[in-house]
A and B are shown apart, each in its own frame.
Chain A
Amino acid sequence: MTEYSTFEHDVLVIGAGGAGLRAAIEASAAGVKVGLICKSLLGKAHTVMAEGGMAAALANVDDRDNWKVHFSDTMRGGQYVNNWRMAELHAKEAPDRVRELEAWGAVFDRTKDGKILQRNFGGHRYPRLAHVGDRTGLELIRTLQDHGVHQGIDVHMEVTVISLLKDGERIVGCFAYEREHGRFRVFKAKAVVLATGGVGRAYKITSNSWEGTGDGHALAYHAGAELIDMEFIQFHPTGMVWPPSVRGLLVTEGVRGEGGILKNSEGRRFMFDDIPDNYKEQTADTPEEGWRYVIGDRDARRPPELLTRDHVARCIVREVKAGRGSPHGGVYLDIAWIKEKLPNSAEHIKKKLPSMYHQFMQLANLDITTTPMEIGPTTHYVMGGVRVDADTQASTLPGLYAAGECASGINGANRLGGNSLSDLIVFGKRAGEYAVQFAKENAHGSIDDVQIEQEAKRALEPFERDGGENPFVIQHDLQDMMQRLVGIVRVEDEMKEALDELKKLNERATKSSVTGNVDFNPGWHTALDLRNLLTVSESITRSAIERRESRGGQFRDDYPNKDPEFAKFNIAVKEVNGEMQITHVPLPEMPAELKQVIEEMG
């Protein structure tokens, strides 16, 4: 018999970034017993790395902004395969969620009249991102953390979930282990909220921390839930490319929001060369107009550097492939040039982008106030995730909810910068609220000892095998393969090769072994993560093969255009008899009044 300790909660939240914390706060405010599982220490989740801001139509800087503009910007950015209801709720509720943070102690940068300041960002028509310099994510997570610790939430730090536990179809808890002593834990819960973030560690070049291994995606999938939109991966256009050890590290879009421009090795501002038709009306004709937009001229349109991330990333790849890249395989991002426009530009840059300044100073010996940065695309965000009901965030399994990056729908084929942080608080709150409702209507389910025995055995297997491969090596090979075969530019042959490679990696993973004991053992942890990474990698690859068109985060070299047929459904994956099954889920019809909103917004 496996030894474990048991914890009971009404609502269990897995993941303690912005979405998880917000869900836990909402649930505990409703008076139920809440548990919050963090893979790391509290307050260290990937949310801290979000830089630019959170999008909310507060209309503090430009009074023409409102939820309708935000809604249509989000749908346009997502190429209209978003869940319209989520995009609607998000646009309507984000302002209240941001203001609520202020009531909990967040200190946003201010406008001259003392309101929350908002900045420009890609794909947003008006300055919309509430921010704190370039450390908005830290402000968000710390505000929620400091508010949450007084709410009576039971926080389980450095605990990793191995699998969800089921009673029939219903999710009734999870099986986990605490890292310090490697001991198993069973969490019984009436409702479970997944808020585990993204999958970036499936790729070699990524802005994601070690935690981004698609745990929630894989947990839900193996429990029988559906995932949708897994082919849509966001490659953020501006990651560091040099030195090698920081390759992929994020350079905030805020740099472009503050006037940063992209140039190739010939000094050409290449983003002016390729402006998609559906953005022509909104994009500046000249650099001069672009700069006027940056400094707040209401009649100017935004510079092409602030087109959506999918498009900017592809333009960068094209420049590099055409031999017009920088020495280390990127292009130049130049904010220093604003010295031509602003007398105190160095101070201005340090004030608006302090952590970028330090990041480049400390890690690359480069002063961004005087010298252009070398940047290139980096795996940043997954639009795909657990298929949820828009209003309640309920998954396709009873008792299981999902919010934030591990849920899917709001972003469609491409997420706008700044929509993630607001997504976390809007849908984190909703997930918490509806999980409570489910928990109040249902008693605890029963825990299946057979399932626990199986999971414990599987978890401990790497210790019992001698002479197997080091899991770090397998993880590295997986990342390398996904980067090469299922990256920014995809073709069918390569992706089919990727499926073969995944099969081999799977076999290697089941034979890997770890040394040492169960106490805080990163090798063991990596061995357990591998299953999640392999699952999400397969779902990305299969979904990407299925979508025979290019749209947003999916670019197919063999199908370079958009195909209206593929605008009618989302691609879903589900585990059936141990195999990954692909289905098409029709997009719900958008109500006439929202269609009209989109038309009115041009």
Chain B
Amino acid sequence: MRTGVSAFRKMKATFSIRRGGREGGEMVDYKTEVTEGMVVLDAVHQIQAESAPDLACRWNCKAGKCGSCSAEINGKPKLMCMTRMDTIDTSQPVTIEPMRAFPPIKDLISDVSWNFDVKKRIKKFKPRPPDAEDGTWRMQQEDIDRVQEFRKCIECFLCQDVCHVLRDHNKHAEFIGPRFLVYAAALAMHPLATENRTEELKDAFGIGYCNITKCCTKVCPEHITITDNAIIPLKERVVDEHYDPLTRLVKLFRRK
């Protein structure tokens, strides 16, 4: 032991992991050793290597950058790769379950394909004509800071998982969820953008369902201020464009 930090005691912890397919499923206990600096995903990998090679979990980067290993750890939506074991009470079994706002596929894997379908429904980015003769644009850093915040999103879908409109009320057909409101906000606030999506936000995307409980903001591993910076400004746009009498009047004339 060369540093004080290394004096970490090895110990076994119990992990209670959801096993099973699309139907049913049960919690199965596994014991494995917990060592210094370990994250929950390490424990799952250790369990795979030691006793359950067919235990299904998604992961890629193991660095909080790809958003694949989303799960519910002791009931809290988190990335397994960024959840350190020393932040968890191991005197009790640690439960690991798949995200519950989506149908389970197997073990820790849920069917997130709905999210990919939603994105296709959102009109794609269309820039204004280039600013310079060489076909490029000019943007000031302060004008893109907000959009860059939204574009940090790693599509882990934890915000979707925790959103009660999806999780408890199953409004997947009427509401696109916080992830795609952030996506729509990034498009709306992009300095070069030309398309307007407020009509869809109001109707097909169901922005009205969000009642600003901010659960999504709390679970975002990228610390995107989802509710305050993305959803509320979009709600304001919808109100301005659809319920403001003056705007409505202008719209009426434009249509003619």
Contacts and interface: CB of A to CB of B under 8 A. Distances in A.
Interface in B54-68: 54-68
Given A150-B120, A245-B37, A363-B82, A522 B57 contact: yes
A318 to B, nearest CB: 20
Contact of B63 (A102, A155, A359, A526): A359
B152 A48 contact: no
Nearest to A517: B54
B92 interface: no
A514 B48 CA distance: 12
B53 A514 contact: yes
B63 A107 contact: no
Tell me if B's interface is mostly helix, strand, loop or mixed: loop
A103 B130 CA distance: 9
Given A146-B124, A327-B2, A249 B105 contact: no
B147 A107 contact: yes
Contacts, number: 168
Given A471-B53, A519-B106, A521-B54, A40 B120 contact: no
Interface in A122-160: 132-133, 135, 137-139, 142, 146-147, 149-150, 155, 157
B35 interface: yes
A403 to B, nearest CB: 20
Given A149-B119, A362-B84, A209 B53 contact: no
A520 B120 contact: no
B140 A107 contact: no
* 6 closest Cβ pairs, A-B complex: A243-B37, A523-B53, A516-B54, A114-B138, A105-B125, A520-B56
Contacts of A102: 127, 136-137
B215 interface: no
A104 interface: yes
A315 to B, nearest CB: 22
A327 B62 CA distance: 24
Contact of A327 (B3, B116, B187): B3
Given A105-B190, A243-B37, A520 B105 contact: yes
Interface residues of B, number: 58
B68 A358 contact: no
Interface of B: 2-3, 6, 21, 35-39, 42, 48-49, 53-68, 82, 84, 105-107, 109, 112-113, 116, 119-120, 124-125, 127, 135-141, 144, 147-148, 151-152, 154-155, 187, 190
A470 B49 contact: yes
Contacts of A514: 53-54
Interface string A419-453: 00000000000000000000000000000000000
Interface residues of A, number: 69
Nearest to A150: B124
Contact of A362 (B48, B64, B106): B64
21 contacts: A41-B58, A43-B66, A44-B67, A49-B61, A105-B187, A107-B144, A107-B190, A137-B65, A146-B119, A147-B124, A149-B119, A149-B120, A209-B66, A242-B37, A245-B35, A249-B63, A355-B65, A359-B63, A470-B53, A476-B49, A519-B56
